[in-house]
Structure 1
Amino acid sequence: MSEKVVINAMRFWVDDVVIHHNFCPFARFVRHPETIHYQVCTHDNVADIMVALHSACVQLDETAEIATTLLMVPALRRFDDYLDALSLAQAMLAQWQYEGIYQLASFHPEYEFEGEAESSPSHFTNRAPYPTFHLIREADITRALKDYANPDAIFEANISRAEALGCKHLQAQLNHCIKKAQDKA
């Protein structure tokens, strides 16, 4: 699979799933105009993945025009491997002294919230076409949340929306994002 297909699938996912279903009410503001940086890490070695994550942080430091970065890591297909890398990534952000500067959100095609039934549609709020580390500026989150009296309501609304749509529909949307990207390549 080419980097172009991965990036295009993620762009379609941001538009057709995240923004369309309002899973993140802030996404449209960084998508139009495009201030999302899409980066593909083709490595399967966790050390190399961490180097790519650090480079993405440095790029955010140096490039104010980039609001947020989606670092896709297709090699982390197994959700358990992804979770191990995510745990290390969180620790590395602290070690690199980025705690409080960048927040790391996580997305994976097989994402499952601990304690939720395997068949729960809620998992789709964090499912994406490819394993992804999402770097977000903490200052942007703080600024955006000032407009929300109850930020927890966002998560609750997402779960309700996902349950209304159902797993079959949401999985079809993920698959469609990948197919559109492959057709465009």
Structure 2
Amino acid sequence: MPSHPPTADTVIAHTRRWLERAVIGLNLCPFAKAVHAKGQIRWVVSTATTPAQLLEELRAELLHLAHADPAAVDTTLLIHPQVLGDFLDFNDFLGDAQALVEDLDLEGVLQVASFHPDFQFGDAEADDITNATNRSPYPTLHLLREDSIERAVAAFPDPAFIYEANMATLRRLGPEGWARLMDDEDTAS
């Protein structure tokens, strides 16, 4: 591991590349393309080095998103490269994140989705390629507006199919294809 954390610009560049190549490029989330194209994603790189610091930053970002004009900021990616690198610790933190949403009376208004470099579904092996549906370059909390999700789901013919389609896409791509897709040297973006 490097002795110094990556710069915010590097973190955002890696995360943007993942969003464009994997999330949008593979259509893992059919709702992501529109907010990205409209510039409605708030990109925040956390400086937190402890879960407590991250929780305070999450509080600030939840409040920011709750009060922001949805036409300007529809969703936030809170990327935290210096804390919760261990997936099990990250997974445990999600309970604190949900409790914070409830404490702020934002349940039903905002929700927190999660992405992690070592994401693993509970019933999958660590090297199962389908885990890549939720694998990002850095631990990331995705803050979403509930009403935006509801509108997107209503416009999609069968939202339950997304999960199954994602698994099939990743199985076809395979580990080698995923590695090529995420390769820094690849100029496609």
Return the alpha-carbon distance in structure 2 between the equivalents of residues 142 and 163 of structure 1: 28
Residue among 43, 47, 56 paired with 1:38: 43
Same amino acid, percent of matched pairs: 34
Give the corresponding residue for 1:183: none
Q: Which moved more, 1:99-108 or 1:146-155?
A: 146-155
Taking structure 1 as the reference length, what is the TM-score of the superposition? 0.91
- Displacement of 1:156 after TM fit? 0.7
Q: How many residues align?
A: 178
Of 47, 57, 64, which aligns to 2:62?
57
Post-superposition shift, 1:62? 2.2
The answer to whether structure 1 residue 69 and structure 2 residue 88 are counterparts is no
CA distance in 1 between partners of 2:158 and 2:43 (Å): 30
CA distance in 1 between counterparts of 2:175 and 2:134 reads 13
- C-alpha distance in 1, partners of 2:179/2:114? 18
TM-score (norm 2): 0.89
CA contact (8 A) 1:79 1:110 kept: yes
**Structure with greater proportional helix content:** 1
The amino acid of 2:159's aligned partner reads: P
In the alignment, structure 1 residue 164 sits paired with structure 2 residue 172: yes
The C-alpha deviation readout for 1:61-87, integer Å capped at 9, x for no partner, is 222110100000112211112112222
* SS across alignment from 2:152: helix
Output one character per residue of 1:1-60: Cα deviation in whole Å (capped at 9) or x when no partner: 101100111111111111100000011100012110010112121111011111111111
* Counterpart pick for 1:102 among 88, 94, 110: 110
Question: Are the aligned partners of 1:39 and 1:71 in contact in 2 as well (CA < 8 Å)?
Answer: yes
SS at match of 1:74: coil
Output one character per residue of 1:116-144: Cα deviation in whole Å (capped at 9) or x when no partner: 12221110000000000000100000011
Give the SS at the match of 1:135.
strand
How far does residue 175 in structure 1 lie from its aligned partner after superposition?
Answer: 4.5
> In structure 1, what is the equivalent of residue 130 of structure 2?
122
- Checking the alignment, whether the CA contact within 8 Å between 2:66 and 2:110 is kept in structure 1 is no
Measured after TM superposition, the shift of residue 149 of structure 1 is 3.3
Separation in 1 of the partners of 2:157 and 2:26?
Answer: 21
RMSD between aligned residues = 1.4
- Quote the Cα distance in structure 2 between the aligned partners of 1:102 and 1:34: 19
Counterpart-to-counterpart distance in 2, 1:47 and 1:148? 38
Question: Larger RCO: Structure 1 or Structure 2 (Cα < 8 Å, ≥ 6 residues apart)?
Answer: 1
User: CA separation in 2, counterparts of 1:11 and 1:111?
Assistant: 18
